[in-house]
Amino acid sequence: MSQDVTQWVAEVRSLQRQVSELQRSRDQAYASADNLRQMYEAEAQQRRRDNASYSQKIEQLQQTLADSQMPSAAPSNQLNAEINALQISPLNPNSVAQLQAQLMSASRQSQELKAQLEAEQNDHKQTRESLTAALGDAVDLLAKERLQYHPQSQIGS
């Protein structure tokens, strides 16, 4: 009978070890599942931030397009095509590489628009300076002509 009890005790201990190993395996599986869930949530948050960023960029590009009033239609069509290419649907998940490519494209577009704006501002500045100089020359000529035709009015003033 003592041998039966010893055998039962050994069997119980063996089962306890198996239960303990299974519990550890279960805990590891839960930890792994939690880790995967956290990674998934982080990825989802990143996609939401990217989506919001791209939406904001699209709005900026559309506003720039509306404000620019470019005389030729070709740059506007190109800008519209790039805006449409940037649009991201939450139901259509893009890979990180695609999003980075779109970001690079948007960045290049932004730089091009900035360069165009700076060129336009420089042209405006030069035009303003030229017109100011021309106005100054016209005032000087008018003053000289007044002196020629009305020399006494200058003395009496």
From first to last of its 157 residues, the chain has per-residue pLDDT tens of: 788 889 999 999 999 999 999 999 999 999 999 999 999 999 989 999 998 998 898 888 888 887 775 555 555 667 677 666 666 555 455 577 788 888 888 889 989 999 998 999 999 899 999 989 888 888 888 888 888 887 665 555 5
Question: What residue ranges in the chain does DSSP mark as E strands?
Answer: none
Q: What is the pLDDT of residue 9?
A: 93
The answer to whether residue 123 is domain-embedded is no
User: How many structural domains are present in the chain?
Assistant: 1
The structure's pTM equals 0.35
The answer to whether residue 148 is domain-embedded is no
Rounded to whole angstroms, how far apart are CA atoms 18 and 5? Answer: 20
Rounded to whole angstroms, how far apart are CA atoms 38 and 45? Answer: 10
Q: Quick count: other Cβ atoms within 10 Å of Cβ 126?
A: 10
Rounded to whole angstroms, how far apart are CA atoms 115 and 117? Answer: 5
The answer to whether residue 10 is domain-embedded is yes
**Which residue range is the domain that position 32 belongs to?**
1-36
Token pair 């003033």: residue: 157
